[in-house]
């Protein structure tokens, strides 16, 4: 069985590739290394069951060929990270909508199952928590670039459901703040990466706003568990699943936890959203998944506590990201 992983050189994609190769599958990665890194897949480059294609999901003929020659597609290639989106909104919308359209179009043509990676950003600034897959989405104005990511991924989900209506086996996973080994060492685009980098460098740990905003951080092995279950489960086809930890933490508290676990002397400082993202930025105040559906249908069960996951991530960081 040959599996195509788009975005397979990225942070989540490369962990998925490790898992699939470990299970004995053949794996093809399509990644243009925009945010993915060759280092993430370097250990597999000589593996005869592995092939890396350095190209974009916007290459229609290539997407068609790779989809045709695979039995299952995990579509993770996307422009991701709020900061990237805000910095290059046009690329984000085009990649995230057009790329998924091409993948689903090919998958339908050759009748291949697709697992679509989506995001908790889908829920926007909805205030009812925990977020259920069936909940309303609450977004800000289109003038605020942040919401383009949520909107593009929602279009992707609509496309997936539209193909599912035509009988195509598709499952959608909405990731909630995944973290772990291989988070970008520049600390770009994820609060855990940023805090660990700052703490280890002895720089101030920068909490945005009042630090009371919350997230549910999900260790990478639990993210992969949910993704693979969605790929394997027949019952999950035609459905969307929250994949995340149900344990909520405020960002201010996360800063203190990272400081303690790294033994850092860094001060914890607060900084306004405006200073970081420019005027008009809107944050999500609380983000908490309901994982009942994933538990019930997929048998999903996140296992790794935030403290254990952070310890592993910090250890990896200390080993890999010295300048």
Residues with active-site annotation: 149
Is the Cβ–Cβ distance between 57 and 63 less than 8 Å? yes
Rank residues 163 and 277 by Cβ distance to ligand UDP and give the closer one. Answer: 277
Residue 248 in the binding site for ligand UDP (CB under 6 A): no
Q: To which residue do tokens 């945010």 refer? A: 35
Per CB under 6 A, which region of 20-28, 43-51, 200-208, 241-249 contacts ligand UDP? 200-208
Is the Cβ–Cβ distance between 235 and 295 less than 8 Å? no
Rank residues 246 and 299 by Cβ distance to ligand UDP and give the closer one. Answer: 246
Residue 145 CB partners (closer than 8 Å, separation 6+): 85, 86, 89
Residue 306 in the binding site for ligand UDP (CB under 6 A): no
Residue 70 in the binding site for ligand UDP (CB under 6 A): no
Binding footprint of ligand UDP, residue count (CB under 6 A) = 12
Is the Cβ–Cβ distance between 7 and 52 less than 8 Å? no
Report DSSP state, residue 294: I
Residue 206 in the binding site for ligand UDP (CB under 6 A): yes
The total number of residues written for the chain in this structure: 323
Residue 295 in the binding site for ligand UDP (CB under 6 A): no
- As a 3-state breakdown, the chain gives helix, strand, coil percent values, each rounded to 5, of 45, 20, 40
Per CB under 6 A, which region of 133-141, 155-163, 207-215, 220-228 contacts ligand UDP? 207-215
Residue 251 in the binding site for ligand UDP (CB under 6 A): yes
Residue 207 in the binding site for ligand UDP (CB under 6 A): yes
Report DSSP state, residue 308: H
Counts of helices then strands in the chain (DSSP H, E)? 12, 13
- Contact letters for ligand UDP, residues 94-133 (x by CB under 6 A): ----------------------------------------
Is the Cβ–Cβ distance between 137 and 124 less than 8 Å? yes
Other residues' Cβ atoms within 10 Å of the Cβ of residue 31: 28
Q: How far is the CB of 223 from ligand UDP (least distance, A)?
A: 14
CA–CA distance, 226 with 204 (Å, rounded to integer): 35
Residue 190 in the binding site for ligand UDP (CB under 6 A): yes
Per CB under 6 A, which region of 43-51, 57-65, 91-99, 203-211 contacts ligand UDP? 203-211
- Among 226, 219, 222, 225, which residue's Cα sits nearest to residue 316? 219
Of the residues 194, 233, 239, 313, which one makes contact with ligand UDP according to CB under 6 A: 194
315: its two tokens? 């250890």
Per CB under 6 A, which region of 22-30, 55-63, 125-133, 202-210 contacts ligand UDP? 202-210
CA–CA distance, 200 with 188 (Å, rounded to integer): 15
- Contact letters for ligand UDP, residues 163-182 (x by CB under 6 A): --------------x-----
Q: Provide the binding-site residues for ligand UDP, judged by CB under 6 A.
A: 82, 177, 190-191, 194, 206-208, 213, 215, 251, 283
């Amino acid at each position: 069985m040959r599996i195509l992983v788009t975005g397979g050189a990225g942070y989540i994609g490369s962990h998925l590739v490790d898992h699939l190769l470990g299970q004995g599958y053949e794996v093809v990665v399509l990644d243009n290394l925009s945010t993915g890194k060759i280092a993430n897949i370097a250990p597999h480059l000589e593996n005869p069951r592995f092939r890396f294609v350095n190209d974009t999901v916007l290459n229609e003929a290539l997407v068609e060929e790779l989809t045709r020659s695979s039995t299952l597609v995990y579509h993770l290639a996307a422009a991701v990270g709020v900061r990237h989106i805000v910095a290059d909104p046009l690329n984000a919308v085009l990649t995230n909508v057009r790329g998924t359209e091409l993948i689903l179009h090919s998958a339908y043509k050759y009748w291949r199952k697709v697992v679509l990676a989506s995001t908790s950003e889908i829920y926007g600034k909805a205030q009812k928590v925990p977020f259920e897959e069936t909940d309303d989405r609450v977004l800000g104005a289109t003038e605020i670039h942040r919401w383009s990511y949520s909107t593009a991924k929602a279009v992707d989900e609509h496309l997936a459901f539209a193909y599912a209506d035509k009988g195509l086996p598709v499952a959608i996973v909405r990731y909630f703040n995944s973290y772990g080994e291989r988070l970008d060492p520049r600390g770009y685009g994820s609060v855990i990466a940023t805090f660990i980098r700052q703490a280890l460098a002895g720089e101030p740990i920068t909490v945005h706003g009042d630090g009371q905003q919350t997230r549910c951080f999900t260790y990478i092995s639990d993210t992969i568990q949910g993704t693979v279950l969605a790929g394997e489960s027949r019952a999950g086809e035609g459905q969307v699943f929250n994949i995340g930890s149900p344990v909520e933490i405020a960002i201010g508290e996360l800063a203190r936890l990272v400081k303690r676990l790294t033994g850092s002397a860094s001060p914890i400082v607060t900084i306004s959203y405006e200073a970081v993202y420019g005027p008009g930025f809107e944050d999500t105040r609380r983000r908490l998944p309901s994982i009942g559906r994933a538990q019930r249908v997929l048998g999903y069960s996140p296992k790794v506590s935030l403290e254990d996951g952070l310890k592993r991530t910090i250890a990896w960081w200390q080993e890999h990201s010295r300048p």
